[in-house]
Chains A and B, each alone.
Chain A
């Protein structure tokens, strides 16, 4: 399997000379095609900055990010938008569905933005909706749907343009546990059934336990890596909790 994402020696600094914050400090890793990778870390560890850099919303200070063979740090803003809409799919915290649009229109958005022929776009939408089991809510508005349906619509929007990679930023951050579970199951389905490569940022161990591999980040640096392998999710979950307790601070932090 080929490398979908290669992050090498990425640094991101904020502030000026006098007051420099190293949000990312030499982060390197790779994600293979079809992988489901989680990035975990405490608040302020730099995980969202990392995701923003990968999703081309933010620019790195130094280092390279290569997605599907293309170096996005070299691209101009126009190319970036095009790259973003063709190669990346997004799942946001609280879904960010546009509540003025119906489910169908929400899902079709990335396609119309890429100026895909409307007939193809509509049939693609229906196809994705069928896969995720939301064909019957296509004409409804977000406020007329259940939480689970909204998540699946958001997931459908993320993959409708057949992106190289789906990026999820704290997707369960604003959800109750039942909805969280449903979203995570649909993301797992995206990964296993549709072969989507997913990169998810979260600080929730339960959410992370659905991933196949987890990168831990602390103070802008990679700290640890966990691979699920053949473990059950429950075992994987307890492994994660162990690392988190480490991440939370070692003895020196407790005084």
Chain B
């Protein structure tokens, strides 16, 4: 019987539950799809390095999922809280008719389970189908072949979804049971009439809270701008906590503060029903500010994730074209005297079959000349701070001018001429702004001391990426041949050969040739473990690696961003609708006093707009700060300004958020009209 009652309740309040239900389904679906990413590899013919990427992504998603489930948990619990509030009178009637509290709780539990099971079922089903489609998408991004269709099903993702959402529903059940057991019958029964205790906070207290929140946010902003975001350490945690606390305090005190402020502008305060709206919001803010703060933080995440995700994509696209000058680079550590082309020839690869022109050279280093020393520590620290450059304290490679010029010649670039006593720096991989920092350093001094001797620095830093990527550092020093080798062919004392490089462009169908070469070179080592080991970098490899990571970052960003956006809009909508239904008596009084429909419309519109816009506005302010930092980070990876991505994000928000806003406004309006007819 209780089951029947519960089912009927769900069906009856389907309209109220619909938003809640859809949000749940969507959350479950997305949760599953993302956690099943690793399982998709069975369908893809991808290299080990790409598998590594997938694994990393899966790990990242693992961490994100914890965060996502906490947020979803809070949202679902608060959404449920609103639904219970709406139904307090109904619950009161059960109690009045003599039902025990435990029985009422049981009805609620059955309802929650019912909705939970159905939404889990539908969400998982949708998730499984979507993940099939996603593997096709993934394959396309990796430019990988599909190994033939295989049903992708991730048991671990399924279990994870069940556990996480099971926990969330358990919390929901506990919360609703608590809501029933805590409330007195009289409170439940007169719930629609009784208002929440109006905000009787002292005005001075509100002002202090407001100022405190501004201070919190200010400090958090300043810290983020100062230290950046990349290091996940204690500092970042502190920034996040400060920001979150600031946001909560902001919304807790905002309405009270503005009420006081606007009361000074009587013309505006008493215009239309503005004071009614303000009072209305103020009276609800005690319970509403928590969810509004959550919505704000989520919107912040949405804006941040979407625009950085999209930006990251472009950044990587950018650096890939700058990254490689030649189709194939073969690199091997110090091998004595063996020439790479001779070694290849002895194994049956005749270079002239693959390329019209190739060049082989060696670079040198001196264990006492390190990167930190050459760049000087202060520049090095700056690079580390602003561009998140990881610590490279290895010896700097030296390249002979003649080798460098030959490579330039192969790319039809003009030759580099060094005057006597002059050396040049090459820094190939980094972005323009990165190079600017280093360039500035050389402009200041124009000199460098190496091994006790002073050299003039070539005024322009070389950025042609003709030097191999095989080197550990993208910093290299180009020196006259005589610096490294004397006329007799003897290497200068203190220096040693650090590696040999072979670079060339392929003939014909370059992609195919690269694959063929790659397979053959790999096979050497398999056939004979004692053979010379090569590191081979092909343009193919670089582009698939970049393509893989950029795309996954992009779509993780987009999907999670979308979930956040939808959920936050849904919660705002639910909250606003339940508020209107709780307080419809007030609107009816307004109508009786003589407010016409237009005025009621304006009132509802403004109220809804305030509810929807406030969190969005603060989120935008958060984002401006956040994106400044993120933008610097992207730029350091060689990216461009994220303006376009922000525009796309804004468009998405406008569409989804706007749709929810309109639906809420229409729903609220209809509720007042409809319920008036029911009177």
The residues of A with any CB-CB pair to B shorter than 8 Å are: 55, 57, 77-78, 81-82, 84-86, 88, 90, 92, 96, 98-101, 105, 108-110, 112-115, 118-119, 121-122, 141, 143, 157
Contacts of A90 in B (CB 8 A): 592-593
Contact with A along B245-258 (1 / 0, CB 8 A): 00000000000000
- Across the interface, B270 reaches (CB within 8 A) one of A77, A84, A88, A112, namely A112
Contact with A along B577-598 (1 / 0, CB 8 A): 0000000011001111111110
- A141–B259 Cα distance when bound, in Å, is 15
Shortest CB-to-CB span from A143 to chain B, Å, is 7
Contacts of A121 in B (CB 8 A): 270
- A100–B597 Cα distance when bound, in Å, is 21
Contacts of B589 in A (CB 8 A): 92, 96, 98
User: B-side binding surface: helix, strand, loop or mixed?
Assistant: helix
Q: Are B282 and A118 in contact (CB under 8 A)?
A: no
Q: Are A118 and B267 in contact (CB under 8 A)?
A: yes
Contacts of B273 in A (CB 8 A): 109, 112-113
Q: Are B267 and A88 in contact (CB under 8 A)?
A: no
Q: Are B270 and A100 in contact (CB under 8 A)?
A: no
- With contacts A77-B597, A81-B594 taken as known, whether A109 is within 8 angstroms of B198 at the C-beta atoms is no
Shortest CB-to-CB span from B202 to chain A, Å, is 14
Contacts of B555 in A (CB 8 A): none
Q: Are B195 and A100 in contact (CB under 8 A)?
A: yes
User: A-side binding surface: helix, strand, loop or mixed?
Assistant: helix
Contacts of A88 in B (CB 8 A): 594
List B231-289 residues whose CB lies under 8 Å from chain A: 266-267, 269-273, 275-276, 279-280, 282-283
- A109–B592 Cα distance when bound, in Å, is 11
Contacts of A85 in B (CB 8 A): 593-595
Contacts of B198 in A (CB 8 A): 99-100, 141, 143
Contacts of B275 in A (CB 8 A): 101, 105, 112
Contacts of B270 in A (CB 8 A): 108, 112, 118, 121-122
- With contacts A100-B198, A118-B267 taken as known, whether A112 is within 8 angstroms of B272 at the C-beta atoms is yes
Closest to A143 in B: B198
Shortest CB-to-CB span from A131 to chain B, Å, is 20
- With contacts A118-B271, A121-B270, A143-B198 taken as known, whether A101 is within 8 angstroms of B279 at the C-beta atoms is yes
Contacts of A119 in B (CB 8 A): 266
Shortest CB-to-CB span from B675 to chain A, Å, is 14
Shortest CB-to-CB span from B564 to chain A, Å, is 32
Shortest CB-to-CB span from B386 to chain A, Å, is 51
Shortest CB-to-CB span from B391 to chain A, Å, is 60
Shortest CB-to-CB span from A105 to chain B, Å, is 6
Contacts of A99 in B (CB 8 A): 195, 198
The residues of B with any CB-CB pair to A shorter than 8 Å are: 195, 198, 266-267, 269-273, 275-276, 279-280, 282-283, 585-586, 589-597, 599
- A77–B600 Cα distance when bound, in Å, is 14
- A141–B199 Cα distance when bound, in Å, is 11
- A83–B585 Cα distance when bound, in Å, is 22
Closest to A90 in B: B592
Contacts of B592 in A (CB 8 A): 55, 57, 84, 90, 92, 96
- A85–B592 Cα distance when bound, in Å, is 8
- A121–B270 Cα distance when bound, in Å, is 9
Closest to A99 in B: B195
Contacts of A141 in B (CB 8 A): 198
Closest to B193 in A: A94
Shortest CB-to-CB span from A90 to chain B, Å, is 6
- A55–B592 Cα distance when bound, in Å, is 9
Closest to B596 in A: A81
Contacts of B280 in A (CB 8 A): 100
- A66–B595 Cα distance when bound, in Å, is 21
Contacts of B279 in A (CB 8 A): 98, 100-101, 105
Contacts of B590 in A (CB 8 A): 109, 113
Q: Which of B280, B282, B596, B599 has the most CB of A within 10 A?
A: B596
Q: List 6 A-B contacts (CB under 8 A).
A: A84-B593, A84-B594, A86-B594, A98-B589, A100-B279, A101-B275
Shortest CB-to-CB span from A137 to chain B, Å, is 16
- A99–B266 Cα distance when bound, in Å, is 20
- A88–B592 Cα distance when bound, in Å, is 10
Q: Are B276 and A101 in contact (CB under 8 A)?
A: yes
- A122–B267 Cα distance when bound, in Å, is 11
Shortest CB-to-CB span from A73 to chain B, Å, is 18
Q: Which of B270, B273, B599 has the most CB of A within 10 A?
A: B270
- With contacts A100-B280, A101-B276, A141-B198 taken as known, whether A113 is within 8 angstroms of B594 at the C-beta atoms is yes
Extra inter-chain contacts (15) besides given A90-B592, A100-B586, A108-B270, CB under 8 Å: A57-B592, A78-B596, A81-B595, A81-B597, A84-B593, A85-B594, A99-B198, A105-B275, A110-B593, A112-B271, A112-B273, A113-B599, A118-B270, A118-B271, A122-B266
Shortest CB-to-CB span from B342 to chain A, Å, is 89
Shortest CB-to-CB span from B203 to chain A, Å, is 12
Shortest CB-to-CB span from B40 to chain A, Å, is 54
Shortest CB-to-CB span from A178 to chain B, Å, is 23
Please name the 6 residue pairs, one residue from A and one from B, whose CB atoms are nearest each other, closest first: A85-B594, A81-B596, A118-B270, A100-B279, A84-B594, A100-B283
Contacts of B266 in A (CB 8 A): 118-119, 122
- A92–B592 Cα distance when bound, in Å, is 10
- A121–B590 Cα distance when bound, in Å, is 17
Contacts of B596 in A (CB 8 A): 77-78, 81-82
Closest to B598 in A: A78
Q: Are A110 and B594 in contact (CB under 8 A)?
A: yes
Closest to A98 in B: B586
Contacts of A105 in B (CB 8 A): 275-276, 279
Q: Are B267 and A82 in contact (CB under 8 A)?
A: no
- A112–B279 Cα distance when bound, in Å, is 15
- A38–B174 Cα distance when bound, in Å, is 54
- A122–B276 Cα distance when bound, in Å, is 16
Closest to B266 in A: A118
Shortest CB-to-CB span from B271 to chain A, Å, is 7
- A28–B272 Cα distance when bound, in Å, is 38
Contacts of A57 in B (CB 8 A): 592
Shortest CB-to-CB span from B273 to chain A, Å, is 7
- Across the interface, A113 reaches (CB within 8 A) one of B269, B283, B595, B597, namely B595
Closest to A142 in B: B198
Contacts of B585 in A (CB 8 A): 96
- A181–B272 Cα distance when bound, in Å, is 35
Shortest CB-to-CB span from B668 to chain A, Å, is 17
Q: Are B276 and A98 in contact (CB under 8 A)?
A: yes
